[in-house]
Chain A
Amino acid sequence: MSIFVFAEQKDEEFKKFVYEAISLGRGFGDKLGMEVTVSAVGNNISNIVQKLKDYGADIINIVDDPSLKNYLPELYTDILVEQIKESGAKIVILGSTSIGLDLASRIGAKLEASVATDCINIELEDGQIIAFRSIYVGKAIGKVKFEKEPAILTLRTNVFPIIKKEGKGETVTKELNKDLSQTKIVIKEIIKSSKVKKDIEEAEIIVSGGRGVKGPEHFSILEELATLLGGAIGASRSVVDSGWRGHEDQVGQTGKTVSPTLYIACGISGSIQHLAGMSSSKYIVAINKDPDAPIFKVADYGIIGDLFEVIPKLTDEIKKVLT
């Protein structure tokens, strides 16, 4: 009986939610008297798995093979389902990432279970897992119970705390014993993003721009502020639809859902669809010329003014504090 975590990695680094998930699993493991099994799948990952012990991993399964360098749904699903069954997992945790949601759905289908996706809270009630999920565009929270084991969940990044508590850290290397010729989906090409960008869902600080930024060239003002704070750039749907930023920067109902410590909304009016993507941010700051902009209703701090004047002043004041 175990708590099972999928340690998704990208470019030989584990995704942030992995540490959050292991910490969560460690907490439940201690309460339920279960071990935390972590599954690492990829290529050249054997040397990065050690640190998972520090966050509570008891058993670390490693499948390390060149053919696993990129996510291949059929292979990853087979590997994970086999490991889940072997470990007698009662709870299976993945991330609410693009890969996580895809893989969780496949695992769910194979295990004939539904997945509680985008969990923002998870509790134990009488030894059973209860998940709290964001629904109706962030306007409601759904409390769900599982009718079948294992309970499969995906966590929203940046919501659950990362806690250092050592687990046994026993590594188990497993061979890739799958017939690759049986896979139907073929990767023809992977175009890596030319910019080395932080995944916006993992950013602690996001400086986000809307139509008020007036054009792609003006995002440089936001970028200066973001760089100073070690944050990422976000964008509203209309900015992305206008081609000023890529879809990977979009925050909102048809973009990403983010939960940073600080979200600075610049020239963003705050439509319901946008709020859906960022209203769980810890602190929200809004800068907008329009005093009636809905964003001010969710902001912890707002400045009614011209962002072209406010942001440079803000950047200067922050520089003073940081030096």
Chain B
Amino acid sequence: MKIIVCVKDVPDTESNIRITHDGKGIEQESVTFILNPYDEFAVEEALRIKESIGGEVMALTLGLQSAERVLRACFGLGVDNGILIRDDNFTNDPFLTASAIASYLKNISFDILLFGKKGVDLNYGQVGVMTAEILGIPSVSAITKLEIGKSKVLCHREAEGNVEKLEVPLPAAFTAEKGLNEPRYPSLKLKMQAKKKEIQVVEAQKTDSRINLVKMEYPPKRPEGKIIEDNPEAASKLVDFLHNEAKVF
């Protein structure tokens, strides 16, 4: 089975985000980049499928040359090979990203395409499903389980409190939700071996911008709150605040 996992590296959420002077991006120096948390579930699922029924796992990313670091991180987890679709003018525009990935994949044969549900940096959550739509293959987003059959798979999707069990013919794409699996830790041995692995690089097919990030701003700061030690009057004071000031009830 050939599985392709589309991954992205994102600022570690513990990192302090500093907006650049022109307001169009974030300062890169103080930021630690990690494999997008939702992509970890996708990579893990790909590796499990390979371990259970055999096959090959390829990691794919799109961006500047420096984006290859995320492919190396995937090698450290056990991914077989990696491809960078290089775009020196990468703007995180979801349709552009999906188009570039689809342009590359339309000439590649694969069985399963996996993505994380969304990138925790820009919170778009579209690339997986969009790529599948452009390729004309079925897709299911936010899956919490995947069972591989011969030419079809059964997946679970949690939507609005219900669990949907869906049968999908291959080739198909899926985006991973938390709970799909428990991602493994990288292995030092694999990380060392990864240094020798070659990463294939292709140039991204360009298309016109669809969405433009004009400016980034910090959210308004919340005013300082009233923090008190618990005492016999604390509860009634809080209720007074909620009822008379906040008027919540």
Residues of A near any B CB (own CB < 8 A): 10, 70-71, 73-74, 77, 97-99, 101-102, 104-106, 108-110, 112-118, 130, 133-148, 184-193, 197, 199, 205, 229, 247-248, 250, 253-255, 261-262, 272-273, 276, 279-280, 282-286, 291, 296, 298-306, 309-310, 313-314, 316-318, 320-322
- Asked whether any CB of chain A lies closer than 8 Å to the CB of B133, the reply is yes
Docked-complex contact A142 and B125, CB < 8 angstroms = no
Number of interface residues of B (CB under 8 A): 78
Tell whether, in the assembled complex, residue A116 and residue B166 are in contact, meaning their CB atoms are under 8 Å apart: no
Contact A117 to B161, CB < 8 A, known contacts A105-B129, A109-B130, A314-B238? no
With contact pairs A133-B123, A262-B246, A284-B225 given, residues A142 and B213 touching in the complex (Cβ less than 8 Å)? yes
Contact B227 A101 (CB under 8 A): no
Interface of B is mostly: mixed
Report the minimal beta-carbon distance from B54 to chain A, rounded to whole angstroms: 25
Query: How far does the alpha carbon of A70 sit from the alpha carbon of B223 in the complex, in Å?
Result: 44
Instruction: Assess the A298–B222 pair: CB atoms within 8 A.
Output: yes
Q: Does B210 contact A (CB under 8 A)?
A: yes
- In the bound complex, what is the Cα–Cα distance between A148 and B99 (angstroms)? 16
* Residue on B nearest A318 in the bound complex, by CB: B239
For residue B33, CB closer than 8 A to chain A, the reply is no
CB neighbours of B133 from chain A (8 A):
77, 105-106, 109-110
| B166 lies within 8 A of A186 (CB) | yes
B216 contacts which of A143, A191, A284, A299 (Cβ < 8 Å)?
A143
Contact B219 A138 (CB under 8 A): yes
Judged by a CB distance under 8 angstroms, whether B188 is at the interface is no
A205 touches B161 (CB 8 A): no
A305 with B234: CB separation less than 8 A: yes
Q: B120 and A253: CB pair below 8 A?
A: yes
Is B94's CB under 8 angstroms from A303's CB? no
Cβ of B61 under 8 Å from chain A = no
Partner of A190, one of B13, B17, B122, B165: B165
**In the complex, what's the smallest C-beta–C-beta distance from B216 to chain A, in angstroms?**
5
* A305 CB, min distance to chain B CBs, angstroms: 3
B residues in contact with A197, CB < 8 Å: 161
Q: Is there a chain A Cβ closer than 8 Å to B140's Cβ? A: yes
In the complex, what distance in Å separates the CA atom of A262 from the CA atom of B238? 13
* B17 contact set on A, CB distance < 8 A: 136, 139-140
Which are the 9 A-B pairs with shortest beta-carbon distances? A305-B230, A109-B133, A313-B235, A114-B211, A105-B129, A302-B227, A193-B161, A114-B210, A105-B126
Which residue of B is nearest A193, CB measured? B161
**Residue among A101, A118, A273, A291 with max Cβ neighbours from chain B (10 Å):** A101
Beyond A142-B122, A146-B211, A193-B161, is A109–B95 a contact (Cβ under 8 Å)?
A: yes
